[in-house]
Amino acid sequence: MSVASIVLDKTATLLVVDDDARVRRQLQRAFEGAGHRVVACADAAAALHELHRQQCDLIVLDIELPGVSGLALCRLLRAQGATKRLPVIIISAHDREDYKVEAFAAGADDFVVKGSTSRELLTRVGAHLEAAERERTLEGSNRELSFLADLGRGLLHALSPAEVVRRVAGATYEGTNAAMCVAVLMPVEGGAGRTSWAAPRGGPTLCVFDREGSAEDDAGLIEEARLRAWLATSPSTSVRLEDRSQFFLHDAAHAVEYAAPLLFEGHALGALIIACDRAGDCGQTEERLIEAAAQQAALAARISSLYEAAHSASVHLAREVERRTAEAESQRRFTEAIIDSLPVSLYAIDRARRVVAWNRNRELGGQGIPRRDVLGRNVFEVLTRQPRQTLEAEFGRAFETGEIERIEQEAHGPDGAARHWLVSKVPMRIDGEEVSHVITVGEDITERVVASRAVARSEKLAAVGRLAAGVVHEINNPLATIAACAEALESRVAEGAYGSSPEVEDLREYLQLIRDEAFRCKEITNGLLDFSRARAVQHAPVNVSEVVESAARLLLHQRRGPAIRIEVEAAPRLPLIAGDEGQLQQAVVILAENAVDAMPEGGTLSLRTRALTEEGVCAVLIEVGDTGSGIPTAILERIFDPFFTTKEIGRGTGLGLAVCYGIVTEHGGRIGVDSTPGRGTTFTIHLPANSTTDGDPTA
């Protein structure tokens, strides 16, 4: 095997340190003959100077040197980081074991005795140079693997182009010991996944690490136009630049640049550039590190662009979802507000009879239930006041037939007042033909029913009035004749014209009966005439309290049961009303006489007046109450009808309350009744106060 096959192909720089000039020349000729470059020194100081000035691959060191011995120099070299792995061969003129032990203890890699053949020395030098090269290669590989592993871990968290260039530039700057490192991504336009270098959308994304630290987004540190022009050619390989006129970076101190394109699918997305102060600082190991980092940076840049696109799309989607959700929520609230604002009671159930909707009006009132306590519950657990069988039948018809059903219902509140409702069962279909829900709408029609009945009553009264007006005069004339004839016959009987037979007494009794009944019929016809006659209301300021007190005085002079007690509570300083004092007194007297008749065993008749303000409108109230037997609920709706009476025949005509109703209506007021069988009755007259008169509505 030849020496050339053992030593490395590349030229090595050997440092020979020996104080003997003859030995130095001999070794220099041998090494140079093998193709190596030799640097010769006579002592340790000169050797250290040369090592500081230039890089050497191996040292041949004499064990005995003047001043600092070869062993001391070897220890010094092993203590310094730059030379601790530099191969050192100790040579000596003595083949002593203790020399060898000391040499290896000082850190020498080999020990050669002077006088050995040149072939042996060259073989050993070649072996140590090859081992050192393998070690450097292994260290470079380990360094590269460690660098790539650290960079890869860092890029896993780089989700934006700015983070990619920051991590790549920082890791490369530290891994290569460069004077300056720049990672740059150029903005591009493209379509259908293609990249184009025409018309950039903005400035580059870059990060610079230099002697002073890091700088981001400072495009003034690079020759942007030159870099764009190079990247526009889609370079496939890296470039090493030593001509300052071609440099990409603005820095006067560095001597060499190495630029690697960030290639992805054949397109350059940017570049990774390092600058070194000395050409030797950018070796093969640094170049491999830069190219490996550029490959990872290109992939990370592509991933970050995809992430940003996905993030932008997700943000847009999230905003769109948020906007539509807000619109849906706003629409839901608006719909609920509409349903809650409706003047009806509304709820909805599904086919399982669970409540799924419950509007605001269902929460109000004495029987109201909060929405939170209803939704999701079975409707029969909620509506416990209605008969379950009736509800089941109504819901069943709605689900089966799919037709709207309307039902009028009457209910009584806690105060006993009657309320009228129009309940509608409305089927609803969400999907398909099957009824999925039933909406129940309850509308309070009490006012409408009361108004309708009032209209019907008024029409009835008007009809009766027209009938009475047509027949009263025709009946009064025959009645007057009958009464006159009866009186004439009574006079003749009294004069003895018919003698003194027993039949005369019967005749006198019959004539008295005829006259009394004729006068009773005349009283009825006069009542009819009074009922049918249009009353001319004399609008004048009237103090209602004075009207009630006057009516009370009249009642005191009438014959009544000894156990009837009259209580008068007339509020002072009531607002005045516009009306006819006589007619109002007549209405009060009619109500009071009916109250007295309702208490045959005695009781209390109460007459009260007070002011009331409803919705900003002032009114005056007259209350006539008794503690009598009360009015049965079944006939309350008929008490104001003409000729309707519960009194015995001969004690009432059934026109009193009808006349009273007419008087109150003609004064623009209304009359109501509150009666409880067995406890008594109270009639209430509402009369509008005169806005042009002074009064105290709070009295």
Indicate which CATH number applies to the domain containing 9.
3.40.50.2300
Whether the per-residue pLDDT at 292 is higher than 70: the answer is: yes
User: Which CATH number characterizes residue 379's domain?
Assistant: 3.30.450.20
C-alpha to C-alpha distance for 288 and 140, rounded to whole angstroms? 9
Q: Which pLDDT does position 367 carry in this prediction?
A: 57
| % helix, strand, coil for the chain, step of 5 | 45, 20, 30
Average pLDDT in the chain: 79
Q: Domain check: are 405 and 491 in the same one?
A: no
Q: What are the start-end ranges of the E strands in 189-279? A: 205-210, 213-216, 239-241, 256-264, 267-276
- Residue where one domain finishes, among candidates 504, 532, 560: 532
pLDDT band at 197 (very low <50, low <70, confident <90, very high): very low
- Under 8 Å between Cβ of 495 and 449: no
C-alpha to C-alpha distance for 301 and 204, rounded to whole angstroms? 13
- Residue where one domain finishes, among candidates 140, 165, 198: 140
One-letter amino acid of 452: S
- Residue where one domain finishes, among candidates 513, 532, 551: 532
Q: Would residue 332 count as lying in a domain?
A: no
Q: Would residue 646 count as lying in a domain?
A: yes
Q: Domain check: are 168 and 238 in the same one?
A: yes
Reported as a single tens digit per residue, the pLDDT across 494-519 is 777 776 677 777 777 777 778 777 77
Q: Which helix (H) or strand (E) holds 52?
A: helix 44-53
Q: Domain check: are 300 and 366 in the same one?
A: no
Q: Domain check: are 436 and 463 in the same one?
A: no
Candidates 210, 135, 155; CA nearest to 179 is 210
Q: Domain check: are 268 and 198 in the same one?
A: yes
Q: Domain check: are 374 and 399 in the same one?
A: yes
Q: Domain check: are 431 and 380 in the same one?
A: yes
Of 212-216, 556-560, 616-620, the one with minimum mean pLDDT is 556-560
Q: Would residue 331 count as lying in a domain?
A: no
Of 246-255, 375-384, 416-425, 552-561, the one with minimum mean pLDDT is 552-561
Q: Domain check: are 474 and 544 in the same one?
A: no
Q: Would residue 429 count as lying in a domain?
A: yes
**Pair of tokens at residue 135:** 């070690």
Q: Would residue 694 count as lying in a domain?
A: no
Percent of the chain with pLDDT over 70: 81
Which residues touch 675 (CB under 8 Å, ≥6 apart)? 630, 631, 633, 636, 681, 682
User: Which CATH number characterizes residue 612's domain?
Assistant: 3.30.565.10
pLDDT band at 348 (very low <50, low <70, confident <90, very high): confident
Reported as a single tens digit per residue, the pLDDT across 650-683 is 555 667 777 788 788 888 888 888 888 888 899 9
Q: Domain check: are 522 and 379 in the same one?
A: no
Whether the per-residue pLDDT at 582 is higher than 50: the answer is: yes
Q: What is the mean pLDDT of residues 321-333?
A: 86
Q: Would residue 324 count as lying in a domain?
A: no
Candidates 582, 587, 588, 584; CA nearest to 568 is 588
- 184: domain range? 157-311
C-alpha to C-alpha distance for 22 and 230, rounded to whole angstroms? 57
C-alpha to C-alpha distance for 427 and 408, rounded to whole angstroms? 18
Dihedral angle sign, alpha carbons of residues 517, 521, 527, 530: negative
Q: What is the mean pLDDT of residues 551-575?
A: 78
Q: Would residue 209 count as lying in a domain?
A: yes
Whether the per-residue pLDDT at 693 is higher than 50: the answer is: no
Q: What is the mean pLDDT of residues 316-345?
A: 82
Whether the per-residue pLDDT at 484 is higher than 50: the answer is: yes
Q: Domain check: are 431 and 496 in the same one?
A: no
Alpha-carbon distances of 161 from 24, 172, 222, 376, rounded to whole Å: 59, 16, 18, 52
Q: Domain check: are 271 and 299 in the same one?
A: yes
> What residue has token string 């799924």?
356
Q: Which pLDDT does position 188 carry in this prediction?
A: 59
Cross-strand pairs, 184: 206, 271
Q: Which pLDDT does position 146 carry in this prediction?
A: 64
Q: What is the mean pLDDT of residues 89-108?
A: 87
Q: Which pLDDT does position 141 carry in this prediction?
A: 62
User: Which CATH number characterizes residue 505's domain?
Assistant: 1.10.287
Q: Would residue 334 count as lying in a domain?
A: no
Q: Domain check: are 415 and 460 in the same one?
A: no
Q: What is the number of domains present in the chain? A: 5
Q: Give the count of beta carbons closer than 10 Å to the beta carbon of residue 380.
A: 14
C-alpha to C-alpha distance for 555 and 492, rounded to whole angstroms? 40
